Chain A
Amino acid sequence: MALAIYIGRRLVFLVVALFGVSLITFVVTRVLPGNPAYLIVGVQADESTVEAVIERLGLDEPIYSQYGHYMRQVFSGDLGDSWRTKNPVTTDIADRWPATIELASVAAVLAVAWSVPFGVVSALRRRSLSDRLANVASGLGVSIPEFWLGIILILVFFFHLDLAPAPIGRSLGTVPPEVTGLYTLDSIIAGDGGALRSALAQLALPAITLAITTGAPLLRVTRGFMRETMASHHIRSARALGVPERSIVVRHALPNVLLPVSTMAAMMYGYLLGGTVLVEFVFAWPGIGKYAIDSINASDYAPVLAAVLLSACSYIIVYLIMDILHFIIDPRTRT
Protein backbone atom coordinates (compact mmCIF):
# COMPACT_ATOMS: atom_id res chain seq x y z
CA MET A 1 0.00 0.00 0.00
CA ALA A 2 2.80 2.36 0.94
CA LEU A 3 4.45 1.36 -2.32
CA ALA A 4 1.33 2.23 -4.36
CA ILE A 5 1.12 5.70 -2.80
CA TYR A 6 4.81 6.15 -3.36
CA ILE A 7 4.63 5.17 -7.05
CA GLY A 8 1.55 7.33 -7.55
CA ARG A 9 3.33 10.33 -6.12
CA ARG A 10 6.35 9.72 -8.32
CA LEU A 11 4.17 9.42 -11.43
CA VAL A 12 2.56 12.77 -10.68
CA PHE A 13 6.05 14.18 -10.34
CA LEU A 14 6.97 12.62 -13.70
CA VAL A 15 4.09 14.37 -15.47
CA VAL A 16 4.87 17.72 -13.84
CA ALA A 17 8.55 17.41 -14.72
CA LEU A 18 7.79 16.59 -18.34
CA PHE A 19 5.46 19.57 -18.63
CA GLY A 20 8.22 21.80 -17.31
CA VAL A 21 10.83 20.35 -19.63
CA SER A 22 8.57 20.63 -22.66
CA LEU A 23 7.62 24.22 -21.87
CA ILE A 24 11.22 25.36 -21.42
CA THR A 25 12.45 23.58 -24.52
CA PHE A 26 9.53 24.82 -26.60
CA VAL A 27 10.09 28.44 -25.66
CA VAL A 28 13.86 28.21 -26.12
CA THR A 29 13.62 26.69 -29.60
CA ARG A 30 11.04 29.26 -30.69
CA VAL A 31 12.91 32.35 -29.51
CA LEU A 32 16.19 31.25 -31.08
CA PRO A 33 16.98 33.07 -34.29
CA GLY A 34 16.44 31.21 -37.57
CA ASN A 35 13.19 30.78 -39.42
CA PRO A 36 12.44 27.24 -40.52
CA ALA A 37 10.12 28.48 -43.28
CA TYR A 38 13.14 29.72 -45.26
CA LEU A 39 14.86 26.37 -44.79
CA ILE A 40 11.80 24.60 -46.16
CA VAL A 41 11.11 26.72 -49.22
CA GLY A 42 14.66 27.94 -49.87
CA VAL A 43 16.07 31.47 -49.70
CA GLN A 44 15.12 32.24 -53.28
CA ALA A 45 11.37 31.77 -52.68
CA ASP A 46 9.18 34.83 -52.87
CA GLU A 47 7.52 36.48 -49.92
CA SER A 48 4.06 35.00 -50.49
CA THR A 49 5.35 31.42 -50.57
CA VAL A 50 7.18 31.99 -47.28
CA GLU A 51 4.07 33.55 -45.79
CA ALA A 52 2.04 30.55 -46.87
CA VAL A 53 4.47 28.12 -45.26
CA ILE A 54 4.55 30.15 -42.04
CA GLU A 55 0.79 30.06 -41.92
CA ARG A 56 0.66 26.34 -42.69
CA LEU A 57 3.09 25.60 -39.85
CA GLY A 58 1.16 27.85 -37.49
CA LEU A 59 4.26 29.97 -36.85
CA ASP A 60 2.23 33.17 -37.07
CA GLU A 61 0.16 32.22 -34.04
CA PRO A 62 1.12 33.46 -30.56
CA ILE A 63 3.61 31.17 -28.80
CA TYR A 64 1.17 29.96 -26.11
CA SER A 65 -1.30 28.72 -28.68
CA GLN A 66 1.55 27.07 -30.59
CA TYR A 67 2.55 25.31 -27.37
CA GLY A 68 -1.03 24.25 -26.67
CA HIS A 69 -1.33 22.89 -30.15
CA TYR A 70 1.96 20.99 -29.76
CA MET A 71 0.98 19.43 -26.43
CA ARG A 72 -2.37 18.26 -27.83
CA GLN A 73 -0.39 16.58 -30.58
CA VAL A 74 2.04 15.00 -28.14
CA PHE A 75 -0.77 13.52 -26.05
CA SER A 76 -2.26 11.92 -29.14
CA GLY A 77 1.09 10.26 -29.76
CA ASP A 78 2.25 12.57 -32.52
CA LEU A 79 5.58 14.33 -32.06
CA GLY A 80 5.24 16.27 -35.28
CA ASP A 81 7.22 15.96 -38.47
CA SER A 82 10.85 16.63 -39.22
CA TRP A 83 11.32 19.25 -41.91
CA ARG A 84 14.81 17.93 -42.51
CA THR A 85 14.10 14.22 -42.97
CA LYS A 86 10.48 14.67 -44.11
CA ASN A 87 9.50 11.83 -41.74
CA PRO A 88 7.24 11.83 -38.70
CA VAL A 89 9.52 12.37 -35.68
CA THR A 90 8.20 9.18 -34.07
CA THR A 91 9.45 7.19 -37.07
CA ASP A 92 12.86 8.86 -36.96
CA ILE A 93 13.17 8.20 -33.24
CA ALA A 94 12.06 4.59 -33.58
CA ASP A 95 14.86 4.19 -36.14
CA ARG A 96 17.54 5.82 -34.04
CA TRP A 97 16.74 5.11 -30.40
CA PRO A 98 17.77 1.42 -30.54
CA ALA A 99 21.26 2.58 -31.57
CA THR A 100 21.43 4.79 -28.49
CA ILE A 101 19.90 2.15 -26.22
CA GLU A 102 22.43 -0.40 -27.38
CA LEU A 103 25.39 1.92 -26.90
CA ALA A 104 24.12 3.23 -23.56
CA SER A 105 23.43 -0.25 -22.19
CA VAL A 106 26.81 -1.71 -23.17
CA ALA A 107 28.58 1.40 -21.86
CA ALA A 108 26.65 1.29 -18.57
CA VAL A 109 27.41 -2.40 -18.03
CA LEU A 110 31.10 -1.81 -18.75
CA ALA A 111 31.20 1.27 -16.51
CA VAL A 112 29.64 -0.57 -13.56
CA ALA A 113 31.80 -3.63 -14.18
CA TRP A 114 35.09 -1.82 -13.82
CA SER A 115 34.28 1.00 -11.43
CA VAL A 116 32.22 -0.64 -8.67
CA PRO A 117 34.52 -3.60 -7.89
CA PHE A 118 37.54 -1.31 -8.21
CA GLY A 119 35.93 1.20 -5.85
CA VAL A 120 35.15 -1.48 -3.28
CA VAL A 121 38.63 -3.05 -3.34
CA SER A 122 40.47 0.27 -3.33
CA ALA A 123 38.52 1.39 -0.25
CA LEU A 124 39.60 -1.62 1.80
CA ARG A 125 43.18 -0.52 2.28
CA ARG A 126 44.23 3.09 2.40
CA ARG A 127 47.40 3.99 0.52
CA SER A 128 47.52 0.53 -1.02
CA LEU A 129 48.41 0.11 -4.68
CA SER A 130 44.75 -0.23 -5.68
CA ASP A 131 43.90 2.89 -3.68
CA ARG A 132 46.54 4.91 -5.53
CA LEU A 133 45.49 3.49 -8.89
CA ALA A 134 41.86 4.36 -8.14
CA ASN A 135 42.94 7.92 -7.36
CA VAL A 136 44.65 8.25 -10.72
CA ALA A 137 41.86 6.51 -12.65
CA SER A 138 39.04 8.54 -11.16
CA GLY A 139 40.97 11.78 -11.46
CA LEU A 140 41.75 11.21 -15.13
CA GLY A 141 38.33 9.81 -15.96
CA VAL A 142 36.54 12.78 -14.44
CA SER A 143 38.72 15.40 -16.09
CA ILE A 144 39.16 13.98 -19.61
CA PRO A 145 36.49 15.25 -22.05
CA GLU A 146 34.75 12.32 -23.71
CA PHE A 147 34.99 13.61 -27.27
CA TRP A 148 38.76 13.97 -26.88
CA LEU A 149 39.06 10.48 -25.38
CA GLY A 150 36.99 9.09 -28.27
CA ILE A 151 39.28 10.71 -30.85
CA ILE A 152 42.41 9.44 -29.07
CA LEU A 153 40.99 5.90 -28.94
CA ILE A 154 40.20 6.08 -32.66
CA LEU A 155 43.70 7.36 -33.36
CA VAL A 156 45.36 4.59 -31.36
CA PHE A 157 43.15 1.57 -31.93
CA PHE A 158 41.89 2.21 -35.47
CA PHE A 159 44.53 4.37 -37.12
CA HIS A 160 47.75 3.05 -35.58
CA LEU A 161 47.07 -0.42 -34.22
CA ASP A 162 44.26 -1.34 -36.61
CA LEU A 163 42.54 -3.28 -33.83
CA ALA A 164 39.20 -1.50 -34.17
CA PRO A 165 37.04 -0.95 -37.26
CA ALA A 166 36.48 2.46 -38.80
CA PRO A 167 34.33 4.75 -36.62
CA ILE A 168 31.49 4.99 -39.08
CA GLY A 169 28.38 3.88 -37.26
CA ARG A 170 26.87 0.65 -36.07
CA SER A 171 27.79 -1.95 -38.66
CA LEU A 172 30.17 -2.48 -41.54
CA GLY A 173 28.67 -5.73 -42.76
CA THR A 174 25.15 -6.97 -43.15
CA VAL A 175 22.53 -5.73 -40.74
CA PRO A 176 20.66 -8.56 -38.99
CA PRO A 177 16.88 -8.80 -39.55
CA GLU A 178 15.23 -6.40 -37.16
CA VAL A 179 13.54 -7.78 -34.06
CA THR A 180 14.61 -5.56 -31.19
CA GLY A 181 16.58 -3.00 -33.20
CA LEU A 182 19.68 -3.83 -31.13
CA TYR A 183 22.19 -5.29 -33.59
CA THR A 184 23.85 -7.47 -30.98
CA LEU A 185 20.60 -9.07 -29.82
CA ASP A 186 19.19 -9.33 -33.34
CA SER A 187 22.28 -11.09 -34.67
CA ILE A 188 22.14 -13.55 -31.78
CA ILE A 189 18.46 -14.18 -32.54
CA ALA A 190 19.30 -14.65 -36.21
CA GLY A 191 22.23 -16.88 -35.25
CA ASP A 192 24.54 -14.72 -37.36
CA GLY A 193 28.01 -14.84 -35.78
CA GLY A 194 29.54 -12.53 -38.36
CA ALA A 195 26.97 -9.81 -37.77
CA LEU A 196 27.40 -10.16 -33.99
CA ARG A 197 31.17 -9.77 -34.27
CA SER A 198 30.75 -6.76 -36.51
CA ALA A 199 28.19 -5.16 -34.17
CA LEU A 200 30.42 -5.70 -31.13
CA ALA A 201 33.48 -4.39 -32.93
CA GLN A 202 31.62 -1.21 -33.88
CA LEU A 203 30.35 -0.83 -30.31
CA ALA A 204 33.72 -1.35 -28.64
CA LEU A 205 35.36 2.07 -28.90
CA PRO A 206 32.34 4.33 -28.26
CA ALA A 207 31.20 2.08 -25.40
CA ILE A 208 34.67 2.08 -23.83
CA THR A 209 34.87 5.85 -24.19
CA LEU A 210 31.61 6.28 -22.32
CA ALA A 211 32.47 3.56 -19.78
CA ILE A 212 35.65 5.40 -18.84
CA THR A 213 34.10 8.83 -18.47
CA THR A 214 30.93 7.71 -16.69
CA GLY A 215 32.67 5.01 -14.63
CA ALA A 216 35.13 7.46 -13.07
CA PRO A 217 32.60 9.35 -10.92
CA LEU A 218 30.99 6.02 -10.05
CA LEU A 219 34.37 4.74 -8.86
CA ARG A 220 34.79 7.80 -6.71
CA VAL A 221 31.35 7.47 -5.15
CA THR A 222 31.71 3.72 -4.56
CA ARG A 223 35.06 4.16 -2.88
CA GLY A 224 33.71 6.97 -0.71
CA PHE A 225 30.68 5.00 0.47
CA MET A 226 32.77 1.87 1.03
CA ARG A 227 35.30 3.76 3.14
CA GLU A 228 32.55 5.34 5.17
CA THR A 229 30.79 2.01 5.71
CA MET A 230 33.97 0.16 6.67
CA ALA A 231 34.62 2.81 9.33
CA SER A 232 31.10 2.59 10.75
CA HIS A 233 30.18 1.37 14.21
CA HIS A 234 28.35 -1.73 13.06
CA ILE A 235 31.38 -2.95 11.09
CA ARG A 236 33.56 -2.38 14.16
CA SER A 237 31.06 -4.36 16.25
CA ALA A 238 30.92 -7.25 13.80
CA ARG A 239 34.71 -7.37 13.70
CA ALA A 240 34.93 -7.26 17.49
CA LEU A 241 32.74 -10.37 17.65
CA GLY A 242 34.94 -12.34 15.29
CA VAL A 243 32.98 -12.11 12.05
CA PRO A 244 35.47 -13.03 9.29
CA GLU A 245 36.74 -10.28 7.02
CA ARG A 246 35.11 -11.79 3.92
CA SER A 247 31.68 -11.67 5.51
CA ILE A 248 32.44 -8.17 6.82
CA VAL A 249 33.01 -6.97 3.27
CA VAL A 250 30.46 -9.01 1.35
CA ARG A 251 27.58 -9.44 3.78
CA HIS A 252 27.91 -6.50 6.13
CA ALA A 253 29.41 -3.68 4.07
CA LEU A 254 28.44 -4.27 0.43
CA PRO A 255 24.64 -4.02 0.76
CA ASN A 256 25.08 -0.70 2.56
CA VAL A 257 27.26 0.53 -0.28
CA LEU A 258 25.32 -0.87 -3.23
CA LEU A 259 22.08 0.88 -2.26
CA PRO A 260 23.40 4.42 -2.86
CA VAL A 261 25.78 3.33 -5.63
CA SER A 262 22.96 1.73 -7.63
CA THR A 263 21.08 5.02 -7.52
CA MET A 264 24.10 6.74 -9.00
CA ALA A 265 24.43 4.04 -11.65
CA ALA A 266 20.77 4.40 -12.57
CA MET A 267 21.13 8.16 -12.95
CA MET A 268 24.13 7.57 -15.17
CA TYR A 269 22.23 5.07 -17.32
CA GLY A 270 19.24 7.38 -17.62
CA TYR A 271 21.56 10.13 -18.75
CA LEU A 272 23.18 7.86 -21.36
CA LEU A 273 19.79 6.72 -22.67
CA GLY A 274 18.90 10.30 -23.55
CA GLY A 275 21.60 10.29 -26.19
CA THR A 276 25.29 10.77 -25.77
CA VAL A 277 25.66 13.72 -28.08
CA LEU A 278 29.45 14.11 -28.26
CA VAL A 279 30.37 10.45 -28.46
CA GLU A 280 27.68 9.70 -31.04
CA PHE A 281 28.98 12.61 -33.08
CA VAL A 282 32.62 11.48 -32.91
CA PHE A 283 31.81 7.89 -33.86
CA ALA A 284 29.08 8.80 -36.40
CA TRP A 285 26.76 6.71 -34.27
CA PRO A 286 23.24 7.08 -35.67
CA GLY A 287 21.51 7.55 -32.31
CA ILE A 288 19.32 10.16 -30.65
CA GLY A 289 22.22 12.40 -29.73
CA LYS A 290 23.40 12.75 -33.29
CA TYR A 291 19.79 13.19 -34.47
CA ALA A 292 19.34 16.04 -32.01
CA ILE A 293 22.55 17.78 -33.12
CA ASP A 294 21.70 17.46 -36.82
CA SER A 295 18.20 18.80 -36.13
CA ILE A 296 19.49 21.77 -34.11
CA ASN A 297 21.83 22.69 -36.95
CA ALA A 298 18.85 22.63 -39.34
CA SER A 299 16.53 24.64 -37.04
CA ASP A 300 14.30 21.58 -37.11
CA TYR A 301 12.10 22.20 -34.05
CA ALA A 302 10.05 19.05 -33.67
CA PRO A 303 12.93 16.52 -33.47
CA VAL A 304 14.84 18.71 -30.99
CA LEU A 305 11.82 18.98 -28.74
CA ALA A 306 11.18 15.27 -29.04
CA ALA A 307 14.79 14.39 -28.28
CA VAL A 308 14.79 16.55 -25.15
CA LEU A 309 11.48 15.10 -23.98
CA LEU A 310 12.72 11.57 -24.61
CA SER A 311 15.91 12.30 -22.72
CA ALA A 312 14.01 13.68 -19.73
CA CYS A 313 11.55 10.80 -19.86
CA SER A 314 14.17 8.06 -19.92
CA TYR A 315 16.11 9.71 -17.10
CA ILE A 316 13.07 10.05 -14.89
CA ILE A 317 11.75 6.56 -15.66
CA VAL A 318 15.05 4.77 -15.00
CA TYR A 319 15.40 6.73 -11.79
CA LEU A 320 11.83 5.84 -10.83
CA ILE A 321 12.42 2.13 -11.45
CA MET A 322 15.55 2.20 -9.29
CA ASP A 323 13.66 4.06 -6.58
CA ILE A 324 10.91 1.46 -6.58
CA LEU A 325 13.49 -1.33 -6.40
CA HIS A 326 15.07 0.35 -3.40
CA PHE A 327 11.71 0.75 -1.81
CA ILE A 328 11.33 -3.01 -2.06
CA ILE A 329 14.92 -3.98 -1.17
CA ASP A 330 15.93 -1.50 1.53
CA PRO A 331 14.53 -2.63 4.87
CA ARG A 332 14.59 0.92 6.19
CA THR A 333 11.83 2.04 3.80
CA ARG A 334 9.64 -0.86 4.92
CA THR A 335 8.18 -0.59 8.36
Chain B
Amino acid sequence: MTPDRTYFSAAWAVAWRYLHNLYTKPAVFVPGLIFPLFFLAAFAGGLSAVGDTPRFDYYNFTAFQFCFILIQASALAGVFVGFSIAGDFEQGMGRRMMLATSRRSSILLGYALGAALRLIVVWVIITGVSLLAGMEVRATGYDLAGMYTLGLLSNVVALLFSAGIAFRFRSLQAGPLMQMPVFIALFLAPVYVPQELLTGWIEPVARLNPVTALLNGARSLMAGDPTGILLAYGVAFGLIALLALWALRGLRRAEVAG
Protein backbone atom coordinates (compact mmCIF):
# COMPACT_ATOMS: atom_id res chain seq x y z
CA MET B 1 0.00 0.00 0.00
CA THR B 2 1.20 3.54 -0.73
CA PRO B 3 1.76 5.75 2.34
CA ASP B 4 -1.39 7.77 1.54
CA ARG B 5 -3.52 4.65 1.27
CA THR B 6 -2.12 3.35 4.55
CA TYR B 7 -2.94 6.67 6.19
CA PHE B 8 -6.54 6.67 5.05
CA SER B 9 -7.04 2.99 5.72
CA ALA B 10 -5.86 3.54 9.31
CA ALA B 11 -8.25 6.49 9.64
CA TRP B 12 -11.09 4.41 8.25
CA ALA B 13 -10.32 1.57 10.69
CA VAL B 14 -10.50 4.00 13.64
CA ALA B 15 -13.78 5.42 12.31
CA TRP B 16 -15.23 1.96 11.78
CA ARG B 17 -14.27 0.85 15.28
CA TYR B 18 -15.80 4.01 16.75
CA LEU B 19 -19.08 3.53 14.87
CA HIS B 20 -19.20 -0.18 15.73
CA ASN B 21 -18.79 0.59 19.43
CA LEU B 22 -21.35 3.35 19.19
CA TYR B 23 -24.13 1.39 17.56
CA THR B 24 -23.60 -1.78 19.59
CA LYS B 25 -23.73 0.10 22.89
CA PRO B 26 -27.02 2.01 23.19
CA ALA B 27 -25.87 3.55 26.49
CA VAL B 28 -23.21 5.42 24.51
CA PHE B 29 -25.32 6.37 21.49
CA VAL B 30 -28.68 7.21 23.08
CA PRO B 31 -27.69 10.21 25.28
CA GLY B 32 -26.24 12.02 22.27
CA LEU B 33 -29.58 11.61 20.55
CA ILE B 34 -31.92 12.11 23.48
CA PHE B 35 -30.41 15.36 24.73
CA PRO B 36 -31.03 17.37 21.52
CA LEU B 37 -34.54 15.95 21.22
CA PHE B 38 -35.21 16.81 24.81
CA PHE B 39 -34.02 20.40 24.33
CA LEU B 40 -36.05 20.66 21.13
CA ALA B 41 -39.20 19.59 22.97
CA ALA B 42 -38.50 21.83 25.96
CA PHE B 43 -37.64 24.95 23.94
CA ALA B 44 -39.85 24.68 20.86
CA GLY B 45 -42.75 23.30 22.91
CA GLY B 46 -42.51 25.17 26.18
CA LEU B 47 -41.36 28.55 24.92
CA SER B 48 -43.40 28.98 21.74
CA ALA B 49 -45.19 31.98 23.28
CA VAL B 50 -41.85 33.79 23.23
CA GLY B 51 -42.21 33.88 19.43
CA ASP B 52 -45.18 36.25 19.91
CA THR B 53 -43.20 38.90 21.79
CA PRO B 54 -42.85 42.31 20.08
CA ARG B 55 -39.89 42.62 17.64
CA PHE B 56 -39.44 38.82 17.47
CA ASP B 57 -39.46 38.81 13.69
CA TYR B 58 -38.30 35.28 12.86
CA TYR B 59 -40.92 33.53 10.74
CA ASN B 60 -41.36 30.32 12.78
CA PHE B 61 -40.40 29.60 16.41
CA THR B 62 -39.81 25.86 15.87
CA ALA B 63 -37.47 26.65 12.95
CA PHE B 64 -35.74 29.25 15.13
CA GLN B 65 -35.11 26.70 17.87
CA PHE B 66 -34.27 23.94 15.38
CA CYS B 67 -31.21 25.91 14.24
CA PHE B 68 -29.95 26.11 17.81
CA ILE B 69 -30.60 22.40 18.33
CA LEU B 70 -28.78 21.60 15.08
CA ILE B 71 -25.66 23.50 16.18
CA GLN B 72 -25.94 22.13 19.73
CA ALA B 73 -26.42 18.51 18.65
CA SER B 74 -23.54 18.79 16.19
CA ALA B 75 -21.22 20.29 18.80
CA LEU B 76 -22.21 17.78 21.49
CA ALA B 77 -21.62 14.92 19.04
CA GLY B 78 -18.06 16.26 18.75
CA VAL B 79 -17.72 16.35 22.53
CA PHE B 80 -18.95 12.76 22.84
CA VAL B 81 -16.17 11.68 20.47
CA GLY B 82 -13.77 13.35 22.89
CA PHE B 83 -15.19 11.07 25.61
CA SER B 84 -14.53 8.04 23.39
CA ILE B 85 -10.93 9.11 22.76
CA ALA B 86 -10.36 9.58 26.50
CA GLY B 87 -11.98 6.21 27.22
CA ASP B 88 -9.84 4.47 24.59
CA PHE B 89 -6.65 5.92 26.05
CA GLU B 90 -7.74 5.08 29.60
CA GLN B 91 -8.24 1.44 28.62
CA GLY B 92 -4.96 1.21 26.72
CA MET B 93 -6.59 1.04 23.28
CA GLY B 94 -5.18 4.43 22.34
CA ARG B 95 -1.63 3.21 22.92
CA ARG B 96 -2.27 0.18 20.71
CA MET B 97 -3.65 2.45 17.98
CA MET B 98 -0.51 4.56 18.20
CA LEU B 99 1.64 1.46 17.74
CA ALA B 100 -0.38 0.41 14.70
CA THR B 101 -0.15 3.67 12.76
CA SER B 102 2.90 5.35 11.28
CA ARG B 103 1.31 8.83 11.09
CA ARG B 104 -0.70 9.33 14.26
CA SER B 105 -2.82 12.15 12.89
CA SER B 106 -4.74 9.41 11.06
CA ILE B 107 -6.19 8.48 14.48
CA LEU B 108 -7.65 11.97 14.84
CA LEU B 109 -8.93 11.89 11.27
CA GLY B 110 -10.56 8.53 11.98
CA TYR B 111 -12.42 9.84 15.00
CA ALA B 112 -13.50 12.89 12.97
CA LEU B 113 -14.84 10.66 10.20
CA GLY B 114 -16.72 8.58 12.76
CA ALA B 115 -18.19 11.72 14.32
CA ALA B 116 -19.37 12.99 10.94
CA LEU B 117 -21.06 9.68 10.13
CA ARG B 118 -22.69 9.58 13.55
CA LEU B 119 -23.93 13.11 12.98
CA ILE B 120 -25.91 12.16 9.89
CA VAL B 121 -28.13 9.88 11.98
CA VAL B 122 -28.64 12.61 14.61
CA TRP B 123 -29.52 15.17 11.91
CA VAL B 124 -32.05 12.88 10.24
CA ILE B 125 -33.83 12.27 13.55
CA ILE B 126 -33.93 15.87 14.83
CA THR B 127 -34.96 17.19 11.41
CA GLY B 128 -37.74 14.59 11.13
CA VAL B 129 -39.04 15.34 14.63
CA SER B 130 -38.93 19.11 13.99
CA LEU B 131 -40.87 18.74 10.73
CA LEU B 132 -43.47 16.65 12.55
CA ALA B 133 -43.64 19.36 15.23
CA GLY B 134 -44.61 21.96 12.63
CA MET B 135 -41.30 23.40 11.50
CA GLU B 136 -41.69 25.45 8.33
CA VAL B 137 -38.68 25.45 5.99
CA ARG B 138 -38.08 28.50 3.81
CA ALA B 139 -34.56 27.56 2.79
CA THR B 140 -33.65 26.51 -0.74
CA GLY B 141 -31.59 23.38 -1.31
CA TYR B 142 -28.39 25.44 -1.37
CA ASP B 143 -29.36 27.21 1.85
CA LEU B 144 -30.01 23.88 3.54
CA ALA B 145 -26.65 22.55 2.36
CA GLY B 146 -25.01 25.69 3.78
CA MET B 147 -26.85 25.30 7.09
CA TYR B 148 -25.94 21.64 7.57
CA THR B 149 -22.35 22.46 6.59
CA LEU B 150 -22.30 24.98 9.45
CA GLY B 151 -23.53 22.15 11.68
CA LEU B 152 -20.70 19.92 10.45
CA LEU B 153 -18.14 22.66 11.07
CA SER B 154 -19.50 23.12 14.62
CA ASN B 155 -19.01 19.40 15.09
CA VAL B 156 -15.38 19.59 13.93
CA VAL B 157 -14.71 22.60 16.19
CA ALA B 158 -16.07 20.80 19.28
CA LEU B 159 -14.34 17.57 18.34
CA LEU B 160 -10.93 19.22 17.96
CA PHE B 161 -11.37 21.04 21.27
CA SER B 162 -12.41 17.86 23.11
CA ALA B 163 -9.77 15.74 21.40
CA GLY B 164 -7.09 18.19 22.56
CA ILE B 165 -8.24 17.69 26.15
CA ALA B 166 -8.68 13.93 25.76
CA PHE B 167 -5.15 13.48 24.36
CA ARG B 168 -3.69 15.54 27.19
CA PHE B 169 -5.56 13.91 30.10
CA ARG B 170 -6.16 10.46 28.60
CA SER B 171 -8.85 9.84 31.22
CA LEU B 172 -12.63 10.00 31.26
CA GLN B 173 -12.33 12.10 34.40
CA ALA B 174 -11.59 15.01 32.06
CA GLY B 175 -15.16 14.70 30.70
CA PRO B 176 -16.48 17.87 32.41
CA LEU B 177 -13.51 19.83 31.00
CA MET B 178 -14.66 18.87 27.51
CA GLN B 179 -18.38 19.27 28.04
CA MET B 180 -18.76 22.35 30.22
CA PRO B 181 -16.98 24.97 28.06
CA VAL B 182 -18.93 23.85 24.97
CA PHE B 183 -22.20 23.86 26.90
CA ILE B 184 -21.48 27.33 28.31
CA ALA B 185 -20.47 28.76 24.91
CA LEU B 186 -23.67 27.39 23.38
CA PHE B 187 -25.91 28.93 26.05
CA LEU B 188 -24.14 32.29 25.93
CA ALA B 189 -25.39 32.69 22.36
CA PRO B 190 -28.91 34.02 21.48
CA VAL B 191 -30.67 30.75 22.31
CA TYR B 192 -34.22 31.90 23.02
CA VAL B 193 -34.63 35.18 21.13
CA PRO B 194 -32.86 36.92 18.23
CA GLN B 195 -29.65 38.75 19.13
CA GLU B 196 -31.37 42.15 18.77
CA LEU B 197 -33.72 41.31 21.65
CA LEU B 198 -31.02 40.41 24.15
CA THR B 199 -30.62 42.88 26.99
CA GLY B 200 -28.28 43.29 29.95
CA TRP B 201 -24.96 41.55 30.43
CA ILE B 202 -25.71 38.76 27.98
CA GLU B 203 -25.95 41.14 25.01
CA PRO B 204 -22.20 42.04 24.81
CA VAL B 205 -21.24 38.48 25.76
CA ALA B 206 -23.36 37.05 22.94
CA ARG B 207 -21.94 39.61 20.50
CA LEU B 208 -18.39 38.41 21.23
CA ASN B 209 -19.29 34.72 21.39
CA PRO B 210 -18.24 32.92 18.17
CA VAL B 211 -21.23 30.55 18.50
CA THR B 212 -23.50 33.55 17.85
CA ALA B 213 -22.08 33.96 14.33
CA LEU B 214 -22.69 30.26 13.59
CA LEU B 215 -26.20 30.39 15.00
CA ASN B 216 -27.19 33.60 13.22
CA GLY B 217 -25.79 32.21 9.98
CA ALA B 218 -27.74 28.96 10.34
CA ARG B 219 -30.96 30.83 11.18
CA SER B 220 -30.64 33.15 8.21
CA LEU B 221 -30.04 30.20 5.88
CA MET B 222 -33.07 28.39 7.31
CA ALA B 223 -35.18 31.50 6.65
CA GLY B 224 -33.98 31.57 3.02
CA ASP B 225 -32.43 34.98 3.63
CA PRO B 226 -28.69 34.35 4.00
CA THR B 227 -26.92 37.08 5.95
CA GLY B 228 -23.64 37.00 7.87
CA ILE B 229 -22.65 33.78 6.11
CA LEU B 230 -19.08 34.86 5.37
CA LEU B 231 -18.64 35.76 9.05
CA ALA B 232 -20.09 32.42 10.16
CA TYR B 233 -17.83 30.40 7.86
CA GLY B 234 -14.86 32.63 8.66
CA VAL B 235 -15.34 32.08 12.39
CA ALA B 236 -15.80 28.33 11.91
CA PHE B 237 -12.68 27.88 9.78
CA GLY B 238 -10.66 30.17 12.06
CA LEU B 239 -11.62 28.07 15.09
CA ILE B 240 -10.88 24.86 13.20
CA ALA B 241 -7.39 26.11 12.29
CA LEU B 242 -6.63 27.08 15.90
CA LEU B 243 -8.13 23.99 17.46
CA ALA B 244 -6.47 21.65 14.94
CA LEU B 245 -3.16 22.89 16.32
CA TRP B 246 -4.45 22.35 19.87
CA ALA B 247 -5.56 18.79 19.06
CA LEU B 248 -2.42 17.84 17.13
CA ARG B 249 -0.18 19.15 19.90
CA GLY B 250 -2.29 17.13 22.34
CA LEU B 251 -1.75 14.08 20.17
CA ARG B 252 1.99 14.76 20.24
CA ARG B 253 1.85 14.87 24.05
CA ALA B 254 0.02 11.57 24.10
CA GLU B 255 2.75 10.11 21.86
CA VAL B 256 5.48 11.41 24.17
CA ALA B 257 3.67 10.03 27.22
CA GLY B 258 3.66 6.62 25.50
Q: Do A and B bind each other?
A: no
Residues of A within 8 A of B (CB): none
